[in-house]
Chain A
């Protein structure tokens, strides 16, 4: 079995006395999609941002591909990760194309290599070619999210970290993009062992994407495993409650017509 992409040992974080994350151990397996799930304030985003080196743990260590993340190597390591955030986090003064190619240009990739990679990504995400010259304010929410994804994938990262990537979208777009995203993950994975870490509060989305789910509550991991394990043997009554916490139209029909 491949070694884990990320290995977090005893990491914790407090903000001004308020505990965001209790000392926690976590391994992210290579070639898999791991979903961090939980309510707001559960510590899932803090965990993700520790992996990127955006948040420095108060205690413990974070290893990426067996190298400990430190201020000295964090810039180089981040270039081997891709990051996408709710709303896209696009640079408003750059066009979609410039957003995607910013890092490649900074690293002085030859233009032919940039063009080839860009064409590949546009095809992969089914992004309209003409949209590359638009500015973020001229893009729809779904398009902005695709641009954000392309930017994350541009350098061919070993791992993609996504924080509520579909959070700001309307349900229909969201549904479509979930499918697309999944196929993108599979396509990239077919070529190399790309790992994905995804943060969401939507249990349906988590079940749809995740090989492994990590449920957090109040800065602690409650349970870690597949969705089947969550259903079959919940570690805590909270797990069951969380699994049931989302209403579907079926629930409504059942409750009004017993």
Chain B
């Protein structure tokens, strides 16, 4: 009792100290799960830190929807975005044209857009520099004079209405040999001469690496994807010094500079924090401290976060699903309803569920735990219910006929008899949970999904394995743990082989 009071006092005290010292960061930065966004987020974070402001950085969150929801939900204050994405994705269907229309739509949601950071990351057509030089090709319209060229485009670009079909019609391109090809393979195909031009993003790191010439879009067919920063309007009042700090970046990053930073991070595997720090030092003369963690400490940190997500969500799921399973057997009508609801929850795509919860729970571990909790319910509820229903009628009636009250029957007879099925359900939930928890990284909860996400972004198999292997090992460990638990928790009489007479 005294101990509990002490703990409560400690928790309260630490909360008060936090509040008094103002450990709440002045600026919270977010970024999407691709390298350019991660670098831009680093730049914003470091430029604020250089001013002595406390800034936190949630890197590589799931995607546009999650960042936009997090910005509106006051979970982050600023994140890098592209004008084209704002018009096409965030306000899709609104038909916004031009920066003014975008600014107006954003302002209605209480969001400000910075000026362009200095580059336009849009679709572009690239071809090997030497070949372009030899054929005298500078602009996309020059391609019309060379019908023999072999073109290879990413499948998305070929099928998108504003991709190849629009380009072909507008420039009257005569090429016959056009095929779909995976984006990463396209560069190698260009190098080997299998294709002679491909679509790319205008700041792709590979442009430098493969010595490609980016052809000028002289007819302005491709929409503008100017890099900007989105931040809430109230930030200018709450943290004017932070706002003016990151607005320093406006107009300072050119397309070649961005491309060079992407190349360092993606091709040379330099950490984004280092890339950003070097850029700030060279361009703005700012010197920032970059801390780099070791592989071991990172894995340990991921393990801690992963276990936290899995343990809390699983315990909560057991506490809720077991009684629900009992209710299912006692009241079959309500049981049908319960099983349908937990079944439907299972069919909600995880990303949708995470986005849906941001307004209520923000980003980070909370929504991840709730999502994992919800996904863990079905196996436990269903196994508990079927375990109880499969108790032979004569055994159930024998317990009733003895005069044991209902609660005692449940405790002494029915739950122990259903325990193998219940444990199997919990085991299923736990193993699935360990796998699903990797999705927590999409919403900033960390865990083994973090290196997987980074690995996918950097096309780095080693990093992917740094997340995938520990997650798989953890799943096996959990499975093993439950097999031991079965030996301890399932009554001996149920583990004996049936007597054969």
Contact = CB atoms under 8 A, between A and B. Distances in A.
A95 B493 CA distance: 7
Interface in B465-501: 491-494, 496-499, 501
Contact of A137 (B405, B416, B496): B496
Contacts of B401: 52, 54, 78, 81, 83, 161
Interface in B333-363: none
A54 B404 contact: no
A85 B408 contact: no
B398 A135 contact: no
| Range class of the A interface residue count | 20 to 34
B499 A137 contact: yes
Interface string B393-420: 0110111111111001000110011000
Contacts of B493: 91-95, 135-137
A85 B392 CA distance: 12
A23 interface: no
Contacts of A102: 402, 404, 412
Contacts of B403: 74-79, 103
22 contacts: A49-B397, A75-B404, A78-B401, A79-B403, A81-B401, A83-B398, A83-B401, A85-B397, A89-B392, A89-B397, A90-B398, A91-B395, A91-B493, A92-B417, A93-B417, A93-B492, A103-B402, A135-B492, A137-B493, A137-B496, A138-B499, A161-B401
Contacts of A141: 501
Contacts of A89: 392, 394-395, 397-398
A78 B400 CA distance: 8
A15 interface: no
Contact of A91 (B398, B405, B501): B398
Contacts of B496: 135, 137-138
A75 B499 CA distance: 33
A137 B497 contact: yes
Interface in A99-114: 102-103, 106
Interface in A19-65: 49, 52, 54
A85 B394 contact: yes
| Most chain B beta carbons < 10 A, residue from A86, A93, A139 | A93
Contacts of B417: 91-93
A60 B491 CA distance: 42
A139 B402 contact: no
B405 A75 contact: yes
A103 to B, nearest CB: 5
Chain A contact residues, majority secondary structure: mixed
Nearest to B414: A91
A213 to B, nearest CB: 24
Contacts, number: 81
Interface of B: 392, 394-395, 397-405, 408, 412-413, 416-417, 491-494, 496-499, 501
Nearest to B492: A135
A87 interface: yes
B330 to A, nearest CB: 15
A146 to B, nearest CB: 15
B496 to A, nearest CB: 5
A137 B498 contact: yes
Nearest to A86: B394
Contacts of A54: 397, 400-401
A246 interface: no
Contacts of B497: 137
Nearest to A75: B403
A140 interface: yes
Given A91-B399, A136-B493, A140-B499, A106 B394 contact: no
Contacts of A83: 397-398, 401-402
B191 to A, nearest CB: 69
Contacts of B501: 140-141
A127 to B, nearest CB: 17
A92 B494 contact: yes
Nearest to B413: A91
Contacts of B498: 137
Contacts of A74: 403
Interface string A146-162: 00000100000000010
Contacts of A92: 395, 417, 493-494
| Most chain A beta carbons < 10 A, residue from B403, B491, B492, B496 | B403
A93 B398 contact: no
A220 B437 CA distance: 63
B416 A85 contact: no
B404 A103 contact: yes
A134 B474 CA distance: 38
Nearest to B493: A135
Contacts of A79: 402-403
A102 B400 CA distance: 12
Contacts of B405: 75
Nearest to A80: B403
Contacts of A136: 493
A92 B418 CA distance: 11
Contacts of B392: 89
Contacts of B402: 78-79, 83, 102-103, 151
B230 to A, nearest CB: 61
Contacts of A78: 400-403
